[in-house]
Structure formats: C-alpha cells, structure tokens
Amino acid sequence: MKETAWKSPSNIALIKYWGKYDVQIPANPSISFTLREAATTTRLRYAEGTGKISVFLDGQNTPSFLPKIESFLERTKDFFPFAGEMDFEIHTSNSFPHSSGIASSASGMSALALCMMSVKKDLGLPIDNFFEEASNAARLGSGSGSRSLFGPLAAWGEHAEIEGSSNEYAVAFSDVDPIFKSFQDTILLVDKGEKTVSSTVGHGLMNGHPYAATRFEQAHENQSALLTAMLEGDLETFGAIVESEALTLHGMMMTSMPYFILMKPNTLEVLNKIWAYREETGHPVYFTLDAGANVHVLYPESHKDVIMSFIESELRTFCKDGSYLCDEVGNGPTQL
Ligand code: DP6
C-alpha cells in the first residue's frame, strides 16, 4: 500500500456558523482563528481495490467512525471519483484528549480531505487549486472543517467585504493587525462530557427558528464590524463582538424548540470573573464559546504572563480536574 499523511488543526469561530441549508451551505458567513496545537494527524494507506475501508484511532480499530467516513466519501465523489476502486486504511489520532470536549470533526475532516487530495494528485488527476478543493471537500464532511485549511484566520461563506469568499470553501484571511496573528486561546475544560447536542441537531434548530432571519443578517453585520476592528487593532471592539457572538450562539439554542442550555454553572462563573478582572485591570482578555460548556479565553501574546496567572489563580478552580489546554493562532495544515 502507498501512504500519505497530513496534520490539520482545529479552529475556533469568532463569528459563528449556526444554521445551514442544502448540502452544507452555511446560512451566514463565519470567520475563525486557526489553532496551532489542537490538531488531527491522519495517515491514509491506499491501494487499488474494491472500496474497503478500515479506520484506526490511536492504533485501535474503530468501526464506529465508518458511517461518517462513508458519508463523507459519498458526498465528495465528484472530487474523489476513484474512491470506490481503492481500498483505504485510515490511521488517525488527535493531539487533544478525547474527553476534552473539543470537536475533532473540523480537524479530522480537514485532515482526511487533504489526504484524499494527495491521493488524487498521486493518481495524476487534474487539480485547479489544491487547498481550495480540500476546503470544499472538508466542508462536505464538517462545515467548520472548511476553515481549518488556512491560517492565521479563515473565512467561510459569502461576505460582501471578503474578496473571493464563497459558500463552498473557506479562504485564508490575514488582513488584520499583527496582534491578532499571535493571539492566545486558553481552553478551560469546564465540562469534559460528550456533546449533548450533535451539530446536525444543532444546525437543524435554526430551521423555523423565530429569530433566524435576523440572526443571519446580524452575522453579516458583526463580521463587517469585526473585520474593521481587527484591521485597526481595536481590541475593545473585537472583544465586544466576539463575546456577543458567543452568547448569541447560546441564545439561539435557548430560544429554539426543543431548547438547550449548554453552559454549566461554572461557565457563568468564568464569564463573570473575566468581566470583573477586565473591569478592574483594564487588561484585554475576552472569551468565546463553542456549542458546549468550555470557555476559550482569548488574549494577546503580550499579556500571556499576566493572563496565565489570572487563569491559574481565579479560573482554574472552575475547570474539571483543574484542566485547561494552551493554544494559540496557527498557520494551518502540514504535510508529513
Ligand atoms: C458552534 O461544523 O460542527 O462550532 O457542518 O454539521 O459538521 P457540521 O457542523 P459543525 O458546526 C460548528 C458550529 C460551531 C460554530 C462554528 O464553528 O462556526
């Protein structure tokens, strides 16, 4: 068997993708920081065959991953028409613990899409733009995965102010003050449980949601304002928009039918501590949330020491087993 391998990162959205239609078309544009440490490494072994697939997570045969991979290959058959005439052995591992509550779908699907692109290249099939096509394929596996292909930021979904933006693939975005290119993201593991709302169910909640139309419009406006703030290095406006986006995401969940509260009491404790600390010290520290209870603490590299001691002394106590992950803005995938 031949082999190809990629390491692809996760990402954290600043403007949130929440709601989709057709096959993985986002209801609004989104933009994210690409992470450096949280990543999936995937080695794909391939040979001519009959479409047999086996998948190993950390060396263990994991057939429970097969349905997701099969549906990815079905959806991407225009990109990878050769898949049915080959056998694949997929070896994958994540740099972050499975129990950490960090979604591995973005890093995992982008790593797999890149491996499939490398097979396509090896077979001598025509490719216009390797990373654009990889992003498009990754989107079909996981919407947010389309953004993992590029750093330091990536934007997915048509937006008036982002040239070349598309609903089908993400584009690299770096038109920001340098302060944002080395931003820190300390992920506080408030709750280590499995996600209580799958992303399919979650996005589905936006269908028929009474506030959906306004929310989708607001995302466009927030993205415009965020781009200006980031270009100008305006941390205060950056923080206000990013925190509002996080709470809006959770607000949408609370006001959907059925309704969900994914924050835990300790999530709120952390948010209140961050607000109080910022008020008191004036230090630029902000938060965002994913569809879960964990808190991403965002701050400039220049404030790393002071914010880390704040996290240690005041926030760590709200984390499960005192655990958190240190990450920062990264540059995207690497071929191994
Ligand atoms: C809250 O990308 O996980 O993290 O397209 O169904 O795979 P699927 O959804 P997914 O949704 C991510 C939602 C979010 C916000 C974001 O990353 O933009």
Q: Mean pLDDT across the stretch 296-306? A: 98
Assess whether pLDDT exceeds 70 at residue 126.
Answer: yes
Please report the pLDDT score of residue 192 as a whole number.
78
- Residue 221 tokens read as 């406006």
Q: Which domains, from first to last, does the chain contain?
A: 2-176 (3.30.230.10), 179-328 (3.30.70.890)
Lowest-pLDDT choice from 37-41, 95-99, 215-219, 329-333: 95-99
Closest residue to atom 5 of ligand 1, CA basis: 143
Helix, strand, coil percent values for the chain (each to nearest 5):
45, 25, 30
**Identity of residue 221:** E
pLDDT range class, residue 16, cuts 50, 70, 90? very high
Q: Is 86 helix (H, G, I), strand (E, B) or coil?
A: strand
CA–centroid distance, residue 100 to ligand 1 (Å) = 17
**Identity of residue 210:** P
Lowest-pLDDT choice from 96-110, 195-209, 292-306: 96-110
| DSSP, residue by residue, 252-266 | HHHTSSS------HH
Tens digits of residue pLDDT in 250-272: 999 999 999 999 999 999 999 99
For residue 143, the ligand 1 atom closest to its alpha carbon is 5
Please report the pLDDT score of residue 41 as a whole number.
98
Q: Where are the alpha helices (DSSP H) in 123-181?
A: 130-141
What single-letter DSSP state applies at residue 202? H
CA–centroid distance, residue 306 to ligand 1 (Å) = 32
Helix (H) or strand (E) run with residue 56 in it = strand 53-57
- Residue 141 tokens read as 């596996």
For residue 291, the ligand 1 atom closest to its alpha carbon is 1
63: CB partners within 8 A, 6+ apart: 54, 55
Peptide bond into 152 cis (omega under 30): yes
CA atoms of 20 and 205, how far apart (whole Å): 10
| Percentage of the residues of the chain whose pLDDT score is greater than 70 | 98
Q: In 3D, which of 29, 41, 274 has the Cα closest to residue 153?
A: 29
For residue 24, the ligand 1 atom closest to its alpha carbon is 5
Assess whether pLDDT exceeds 70 at residue 145.
Answer: yes
pLDDT range class, residue 98, cuts 50, 70, 90? confident
CA–centroid distance, residue 6 to ligand 1 (Å) = 21
Pocket of ligand 1 (CB under 6 A): 13, 16-18, 24, 30, 103, 105, 142-144, 199-200, 203, 249, 290-291
For residue 17, the ligand 1 atom closest to its alpha carbon is 18
CA–centroid distance, residue 282 to ligand 1 (Å) = 32
Tens digits of residue pLDDT in 146-182: 999 999 999 999 999 999 999 999 999 999 999 999 9
Are the beta carbons of 27 and 97 closer than 8 angstroms?
no
To test the pocket of ligand 1, the residue of 144, 156, 245 to mutate (highest count of ligand atoms within 8 Å of its CB) is 144
To test the pocket of ligand 1, the residue of 12, 14, 17 to mutate (highest count of ligand atoms within 8 Å of its CB) is 17
pLDDT range class, residue 77, cuts 50, 70, 90? very high
Assess whether pLDDT exceeds 70 at residue 101.
Answer: no
Assess whether pLDDT exceeds 80 at residue 103.
Answer: no
Q: In 3D, which of 105, 118, 119, 184 has the Cα closest to residue 148?
A: 105
Helix (H) or strand (E) run with residue 8 in it = strand 2-15
Lowest-pLDDT choice from 53-57, 74-78, 93-97, 144-148: 93-97
CA atoms of 213 and 260, how far apart (whole Å): 20
For residue 11, the ligand 1 atom closest to its alpha carbon is 17
Partners of 48 in the beta sheet? 86
CA–centroid distance, residue 121 to ligand 1 (Å) = 28
pLDDT range class, residue 195, cuts 50, 70, 90? low
Q: How many CB atoms lie within 10 A of CB 255?
A: 13
Partners of 154 in the beta sheet? 32, 172
CA–centroid distance, residue 48 to ligand 1 (Å) = 34
Q: Where are the alpha helices (DSSP H) in the chain?
A: 66-75, 105-122, 130-141, 199-204, 212-232, 235-254, 265-281, 304-310
CA–centroid distance, residue 123 to ligand 1 (Å) = 32
